[in-house]
Amino acid sequence: MATPFRLKRSAVTGKRPGLTDMQIGELAINFYDGHLFAERDTQGVGIGTTVALLTPWVENFGGGSINYNGIVTATTYHGDQVIGTPAGGFKSGAFTISNTDHTKDSINELNFILGKLVPAAPDTLNGLSFSLQGTNGTAYLCQGFTPTNNTGGAAPTAGQGYTRNTDSTITSSYINDVGPGDNGTVVGNINGSSVGSITFDTNTNNGTNGGIQVNDNKDASLSTRNSGIAADFYQVYDVRFLNATSPDGFNKAQITHGSANSQERFWYEDPSTVGAPNISLSGVTTPSSASHNVSFSSGVPHYTNNAANVFSYVATVTNASGDMYKYSNYKLINSDGSTTGFSNPGHKFYNDMTVSGVQGTHPPIRNFGVGIGAITTISHTPNNVHATITSNHFNTFDVQTPYGNDNNNRATLGSSVNIMGTSATTNQVDEDNILISSLGTGSGNAIRVDAGAGTDTPSPVTTTFNSSSTPAVYEAIVRGGTLRHDTTNYTGYLPVGPNFSSGRTGSQYFQVLLTRGAVSEFKIVVSGSYSGCFVCLPENSTWTTGLSSTNGWADMFDAYSGAGNPNNADNGCALGTVMSGGSGTFTCVFGTESSSNGNNKILVRFKLTSGQSISNIKFQAT
């Protein structure tokens, strides 16, 4: 039969054994209190040899709880810890606490209340953007090569626009007034690697480290991003990149602070060594006389605004691209618009150009036009105007690339060009379309008729002037919309015209026919200079008889007498202001006569001498 094993024991509450009661290795139990004891020997270290209570708690009857008097130390505690009753009892405050409440619940309630009292923290830099400064704007990536991709992400795409940089460093704008400015570390990353960092504490942490700079580290109450934060709770700061190293190729930058990440910023560090572009323009090819389209005015040929009248030349551009090009629409040559005389040929794009016979592409290839220029033909046609173009015939052109500009280039043409558009005009002198406005009865504008002779008052004629034949030496010339005393040699003009330099130094005349009934007076509106103006009712016998000494011509350089008709004794017909050879509006009167008494025909005759010209003539009711 086995021998029972019994521990040293006691049933007296609170009784515990002494050193003399136990040996090393023995256990003793107080089975009333439920405590277990052992002799503890620390080999002379600390408290020395003693009897230790191995179960220093008391379990309440029923097993629902235990009691312990003293200090409990634990790394982690799980469960509901009851608050108990504090010394002096509970005080009234933000919420009610009882001695049976759990500490975790009361702490949670306290945190909720404090959250209403503590201001919200300032914004972090998470999701905020910054811009790169001191770069070279946006340019677009050429095709035909593989650019270096330093980002570790998606490669740059040909035809896509990127911020262009060339000095191998980047500086950014500040991200302003973000937090926390009193803890953590802000880091500047280029292509995922740190180029500088600054660690925050509660002091002022302004400074530069590597390629990152912190400035204006201050109390958050001074923030402009998050206004209204109370003082002494938080700090904020400004941060930027400053002269951070930028390797050749495609790059990205980002600023981080703990879990907060700014937006990423991408750019292309352009290593191209291509020079500035240059545009050169060849000589101008003019319309062939065998196929050109012309109209005549006073015997002088003028180009019309017709597609047959093409003026063309070749433009050559060198250094048209490097790694990048300038415009998203692939424009290479910018046309500055039309001129007075010639049409706008439009911009020229990379696919309008050829290099050694190979057409350009969109996007252009890298180093397009480098070494061998890219060429294109530029063509103009005359505009729908009446003009003589003596200089700056064609518009200017600009070439702009990321590597420089060549602006205000114009093809030159040594010859003056006469142009007469197909649309009739009344704001210049058009010899078959001189404006009559609200005058008498009838329709149609005034037209040029033969001057008849080289004197002031010859026998009046109403024969229609032949604009395409060589005019008489006494006929004034309408060229480019201007009536002029003309002794010009047009053999050096384009299109090539007649030589008027001989036999035309005397007075020259311009005579027009108005066909209007019921006119007894009218206004002559003239702009320019002239030496005489005469008016006739050529088929009114009363009129021509009374002015027989001047073949029926009354004089606008002489005042109307005020009674009767102009006559041999006084052939003045100017009412009010008398003409004197300058611009103005002048009234002509017929006295008691009317154009209706002479088949509605009225002749007006201008006299011009050397150097004189008229830019516009109009007739209107008084």
The count of C-alpha atoms lying within 13 angstroms of the C-alpha of 64, restricted to the half-sphere facing its C-beta, is 2
pLDDT band (50, 70, 90) for residue 295: very high
Q: How far is CA 513 from CA 376, 434, 535, in A?
A: 51, 9, 10
Q: Do 157 and 292 belong to one domain? A: no
Domain of 529 in residue numbering reads as 436-620
| Cβ count within 10 A of residue 134 | 11
CA 492/CA 621 separation, integer angstroms: 42
Q: Do 62 and 203 belong to one domain? A: no
Per the domain annotation, does 82 fall within a domain? no
Considering 222, 249, 269, which residue would you say is the last residue of a domain? 269
Mean pLDDT of 236-264: 98
Q: What angle do CA 380, 385, 388 make, to 5 degrees?
A: 80
Q: Do 413 and 333 belong to one domain? A: yes
Asked if residue 35 has pLDDT above 80, the reply is yes
Q: Do 400 and 507 belong to one domain? A: no
Terminal Cα-to-Cα distance of the chain (whole angstroms): 157
Q: Do 13 and 52 belong to one domain? A: yes
Q: Which residue has the tokens 């879990």?
A: 259
Number of domains in the chain: 4
Considering 360, 395, 420, which residue would you say is the last residue of a domain? 420
Q: State pLDDT tens for residues 313-332.
A: 999 999 999 999 999 999 99
Q: State pLDDT tens for residues 64-121.
A: 666 666 677 777 767 777 877 888 777 777 778 887 878 777 778 777 776 677 889 9
Per the domain annotation, does 549 fall within a domain? yes
Q: Do 292 and 355 belong to one domain? A: yes
Per the domain annotation, does 379 fall within a domain? yes
Most confident of 43-47, 53-57, 296-300: 296-300
How confident is the model at residue 281, as a pLDDT?
98
CA 332/CA 406 separation, integer angstroms: 11
CA 367/CA 402 separation, integer angstroms: 12
Asked if residue 411 has pLDDT above 90, the reply is yes
How confident is the model at residue 88, as a pLDDT?
76
Q: How far is CA 486 from CA 499, 532, 609, in A?
A: 10, 16, 9
Considering 208, 239, 269, which residue would you say is the last residue of a domain? 269
Q: Do 363 and 497 belong to one domain? A: no
Q: Which residue has the higher pLDDT, 69 or 1?
A: 69
Q: Do 60 and 194 belong to one domain? A: no
Per the domain annotation, does 92 fall within a domain? no
- Under 8 Å between Cβ of 465 and 446: no
CA 151/CA 139 separation, integer angstroms: 19
Mean pLDDT of 253-273: 98
Contacts of 200 (CB under 8 A, 6+ apart): 180, 181, 182, 183, 184, 185, 186, 217, 235, 237
Q: Do 265 and 299 belong to one domain? A: no
Mean pLDDT of 114-133: 91
Contacts of 189 (CB under 8 A, 6+ apart): 195, 253, 254, 255, 256
Per the domain annotation, does 80 fall within a domain? no
Tokens of 215: 């400035």
Per the domain annotation, does 255 fall within a domain? yes
Asked if residue 46 has pLDDT above 60, the reply is no
Q: State pLDDT tens for residues 526-548.
A: 999 999 999 999 999 999 999 99
Most confident of 42-46, 58-62, 83-87, 349-353: 349-353
How confident is the model at residue 48, as a pLDDT?
56
How confident is the model at residue 7, as a pLDDT?
76
pLDDT-wise least confident of 50-59, 214-223, 235-244, 512-521: 50-59
Q: What is the 3-state secondary structure (H, E, C) of 138-198?
A: EEEECECCCCCECCCCCCCCCCCEEEEECCCEEEECCEEEECCCCCCEEEEEECCEEEEEE
pLDDT band (50, 70, 90) for residue 184: very high
Q: Do 507 and 524 belong to one domain? A: yes
Per the domain annotation, does 118 fall within a domain? no
pLDDT-wise least confident of 50-54, 85-89, 331-335, 403-407: 50-54
Per the domain annotation, does 487 fall within a domain? yes
Percent of the chain beyond pLDDT 70? 95
Q: Do 464 and 603 belong to one domain? A: yes
Q: Do 477 and 579 belong to one domain? A: yes
Contacts of 446 (CB under 8 A, 6+ apart): 434, 435, 436, 512, 513, 514, 604, 619
How confident is the model at residue 86, as a pLDDT?
82
What is the chain's Cα-based Rg?
A: 52
